[in-house]
Structure formats: structure tokens, C-alpha cells
Amino acid sequence: MDKLNERNVFEMMEYRSDAGFSALSQIEAYWEALRGSRQMPKRSEIDPRGIESALEFTFVLERIAIGMARLRIAGSHLNNLMGMEVRGMPLTSFITPNGRREMGDMLEEVFQRPSVCELRLSAEVGRNKPAMDARMLLLPLKSDLGDVSRVLGCFVARGEMGNQPRRFDVVGTKIRPLTNTTADASRHSEAVSDTNTIKGFSESQTDYTSTSKRPQKPYLRLIKNND
């Protein structure tokens, strides 16, 4: 994860300038409109009518373990790439074995940091499996319980489909950490206030040089009972 954190942050739109991937921009614009000034929207706020023109490329993930997430909802484009219904399958089903660890790291960036992540993918090439160029966008969502365990995603692959299933190598990633300016400022203010009023486990100290504040009798007395 440390290696990933050192990567530069790029604008998603700039990275996505290639023709044929407009669905990713539509999904991201919808997600941005929903979240407003918040860090991210909730899963329950997603309305298919708001992304109708990009639905075939859209999916929703649920985190099931560290670096793993399964498809709860998937558009027809994803089904076509695998040649089967993909709901319930892990997202790494679309990734070659060599790229699955990096995909897992990207998912943890999205869930843990949290971040917006975009991946550039290239399909395995073989007999009846021509070259395909693909992009995947991962946008974090909060569940109804308030934890970051859902993802709104978009996956677009361009080229001749060939024989299914098609799996992809990860050839590039872009990460944009999310911030909530209002919430961050509030937390900082609370932290400063706590520092001024509560100093860990320490207690207020009596002035050592002032005899007037010293107790005249021992604070603790030993009482012996021989009964």
C-alpha cells in the first residue's frame, strides 16, 4: 500500500481523454452531483434513472474481505465480456492472475482511504481473442450502516469481443484521495479544543511552592483493625 500512496494524483477527466469512454465521465459526474460537499454519497441514493444512458457499463460492488469485493449489480456489458451472468462474482474475475493483487490494492485504496480510482486495462490476446482497450472507474459509497463498503463502478472495454470470457491486465492506475473540507475543519477544531481542556490522563497539579494549598493532615491514613 505504501508504494501506491506515493503515486501522483491526476485529474480523472484528463486520464480519460480517449474517445469511446464517455460513460465513465457520466458516472463520475452523477456521483459528484450526489455527494455535493460530502465525502461521498450513500448506496441508497443511487437511482438508475440518473445514469440510464450508461447503465450497461455500470456495476455496484460490496466489500467482502480485504482486497476483495463482489458484484451486487452489473450491466449487460460486463455479462457480455464474461459470456455469463456475473452478479455475485468477485471483481477480480475480470482480471488476469498477475494483476489481481494490484486490483486488490486499488480496492483497498477506495474503501480505506477512501479514494476515487481509475484503472487502464488491456485484454489478454490469443486465438479468437483480439486486443481490447478498457477503463474501469471505482467510486466509493457508504452503506446504510455508514461504513465505506460499497462501490459505484463503470467498466468500458472497446474492441472486438471475440471468445468469452475476456480477462484484462492492469496497465495503469490513477488515484484521487477524497476530502471533506467542512468535516475536516470541524474535526480539527474539536481536536484543538480537546487538547486545551483534556491532557490525556494527567490531573491538575498543586503548586509545589505554595504551602497554603498543601493538606494539613495526611491524605491517606492507615487504620489497623485487630478484630
List of residues 6+ apart from 78 with CB closer than 8 A: 57, 59, 71, 86, 94, 155
C-alpha cell at 141: 459509497
What is residue 57's predicted lDDT score, i.e. its pLDDT? 98
The answer, yes or no, to whether residue 195 has pLDDT greater than 90, is no
Mean pLDDT for 71-100 is 97
pLDDT, average across residues 54-76: 97
CATH architecture of the domain formed by 2-182: 2-Layer Sandwich (3.30)
Task: Dump strand ranges (E) for the chain.
Answer: 58-65, 68-74, 115-123, 133-142, 148-158, 168-177
Do the Cβ atoms of 104 and 63 come closer than 8 Å? no
Reference 137, options 45, 61, 49; nearest CA is 61
pLDDT tens, residue by residue, 157-180: 999 999 989 999 999 999 999 986
Residue 152 one-letter amino acid: L
DSSP 224: -
Backbone angles phi and psi of 154, in degrees to 5: -140, 130
Q: Is the pLDDT at 8 greater than 70, yes or no?
A: no
Q: What is the reported pLDDT for 20?
A: 84
pLDDT of residue 131: 96
For the chain, what percent of residues have pLDDT higher than 70? 70
**pLDDT computed for residue 51 by the predictor:** 95
CB atoms within 10 A of CB 220: 5
The mean pLDDT value of the chain amounts to 80
pLDDT recorded at residue 70: 98
Helix (H) or strand (E) holding 197: helix 181-197
Q: Is the pLDDT reported for residue 29 higher than 60?
A: yes
**CA separation, residue 118 to residues 170, 173, 226 (Å):** 11, 6, 78
SS3 120: strand
Backbone angles phi, psi at 168, to 5 degrees: -130, 145
Averaged pLDDT for residues 53-65: 97
Per-domain residue ranges of the chain = 2-182
Q: List pLDDT tens digits, range 123-146.
A: 999 999 999 999 999 999 999 899
* Alpha carbon distance 109, 216 (integer Å): 61
What pTM did the predictor assign? 0.73
Q: What is the pLDDT of residue 18?
A: 58
Q: What average pLDDT does this structure show over 58-85?
A: 97
The confidence band for 19, taking pLDDT boundaries of 50, 70 and 90, is low
